[in-house]
Amino acid sequence: MKELEVRYLERLSQLYPTIAMASTEIINLQAILNLPKGTEHFLTDIHGEYEAFSHVLKNGSGAVRRKVDDVFGNTMSSKNKQALATLIYYPKEKMERIKREEDNMEDWYKITLYRLIKISKRAASKYTRSKVRKSLPEDFAYVIEELITEKADVTDKNSYYNSIVSTIIQIGRAEEFIIALSELIQRLSGYPITLLCTSGQPRTAAYKLMELLCEGCEKISFWYAGDMDPEGLDIAQRITLSFPGRVHIWRMSPKDYEKALSQEQVSQRRIEMMKNLTHPVLKRTAEKIREWKRAGYQEMLIREMSQDMR
């Protein structure tokens, strides 16, 4: 235990080499702990149902509608609140319909932008400014940050915000801005997804989720773990190739394989499936499988994986 503590402290000293840097990180982490708890998704039994799955992601398992209710309460009818929530889920499709029905689009843009700004502020309130900034769309990052951040040094806030919103409409960027705000609310309402479990071959929904996560945050990465048999190594390689630079192989090394050994024999036909592996870790594990001719199952590594996630 003492050796583990020393290694831990040595690693911390590399990350935070000065008292000032360590102190700053402690203050930052303590501040994060005092923020309201963010929304986390727990999604099960997807089974390739992408349309329904995508809808759950867009509405944050109901978190978006709750934010609309929290912000507008009894000042807006249920019908209008539902329409606003639907706009946030599907901004492009909803606006196409509204443009066919609405007589005064300029007024609609202005009212809608103010409503979305209010909801964006509520959605961002659970996170640090740094995390919110990383979620902002690149094209409108500066403007959105100005609109959702309180400006203590601005005496006439209403005039300041009015000028920004009016300019967005005047230069013909209202639609793009509404889409950007809607997608920001989606990301902040359903963030983060910390654990994705699949069974057997990953379905389209799992790949689509990973694509959506990559689109939402350019710094996101995945830690993939699976069974250590020819089929499991093949799945791991395909995922690393599908998301280059984003996937780390987790608990699938030769050492992990030895801990996870089962009594299931691997036939020569299945062993031949591993000849095209190129990932360095998976290639080394494949050599062990050729040697032992037995499968390794991740259930045997539950304790180690649990410790990794603490």
Amino acid at 80: N
Report whether 225 contacts 251 (CB < 8 A): yes
pLDDT (tens, 9 = 90+) of the chain, 310 residues, equals: 577 777 778 878 888 889 888 888 888 778 777 766 665 656 666 666 667 777 777 777 788 898 999 999 999 999 999 999 999 999 999 999 999 999 999 999 999 999 999 999 998 888 888 778 878 888 899 899 988 886 655 556 778 888 999 999 999 999 999 999 998 998 888 655 566 777 778 888 788 878 877 876 666 788 899 999 999 999 999 999 999 988 999 999 999 999 999 999 999 999 999 999 999 999 999 999 999 999 999 989 988 887 776 5
Give me Rg for the CA atoms of the chain. 24
- CA dihedral 226→227→229→233, nearest 10 degrees, is 0
Please give the model's pTM, rounded to 2 decimal places. 0.60
Can you list the positions of beta strands (E) in 201-252? 222-224, 247-249
Where do the domains of the chain lie?
Answer: 52-189, 213-308
Phi and psi angles of residue 153, each rounded to the nearest 5 degrees, phi first:
-90, 0
Instruction: Count CB-CB contacts under 10 A for residue 139.
Output: 12
Would you call 93 helix, strand, or coil by DSSP?
helix
Per-residue confidence (pLDDT) for residue 12, from 0 to 100? 83
Task: Compute the distance between CA of residue 20 and CA of residue 161 in angstroms, rounded to an integer.
Answer: 37
Phi and psi angles of residue 294, each rounded to the nearest 5 degrees, phi first:
-140, 155
Name every residue whose Cβ is closer than 8 Å to that of residue 292 and which is 6 or more positions away in sequence.
261
Name every residue whose Cβ is closer than 8 Å to that of residue 293 and which is 6 or more positions away in sequence.
265, 266, 271
Cis amide bond preceding 192, omega within 30: yes
279-298 burial code (b ≥16 CB/10 A, e <16): bebbeebbebbeeeebbbbb
- 213-308 folds as Dna Topoisomerase Vi A Subunit; Chain: A, domain 2 (3.40.1360)
Amino acid at 6: V
